[in-house]
Amino acid sequence: MTRPFVGARYSGVAIALHWLIAFFVIVNLLIGIGHDSVPMLRAWMPGHKSIGITVLVLTLLRLGWRLAHRAPPLPPELAGWERAAAQLVHGLFYAVLLLLPLSGWAMVSSPEHRRPLDWFGAFDIPFLPVSRVTANLGGDAHGVLGWLMLGLVVVHIAAALRHQFLLRDNLVARMLPRSG
């Protein structure tokens, strides 16, 4: 049986930003990784770009919130390697959550091959002032970062499931919206 959660929780704002970002990242991974092999997903590429910009903005908000509001402490019974792994994965998440949309933005800003960039058709997003070389590097990085993000998501979900169902320490409750 899962023990009731007795530790500190993340704030409601941090929880909302976490789940919004998680949803958008998963949708964008499906579109980004699948658009070459699933023709129907190609039509979603304008949305993929809009979602990427949304993830960038939400991540900046999350980082700002995180700087002003400390995360709840990890339970003292966690092993040192678990603490280190959690810090590493969270640090990598923040880096990739920033670099992935920025690399995509650089890619579509190529002065030689500009692609339309707007936010869900509501307004245009300005292109970044990048060279062809920087845009190409952005494109190369975007693919690698997308696969890295997929790996981080899998590791993060696996760790959450381990805590919830194997360790039964209810650590996941720190990031779940309150019920009732």
Name the residue among 159, 179, 180, 174 with its Cα closest to residue 10: 174
At 5 the pLDDT is 54
At 96 the pLDDT is 98
Residue 111's alpha-carbon distances to 7, 124, 127, 129, 131, in angstroms, are 52, 16, 9, 8, 7
At 3 the pLDDT is 56
Low pLDDT (below 70) residues in the chain: 1-6, 179-180
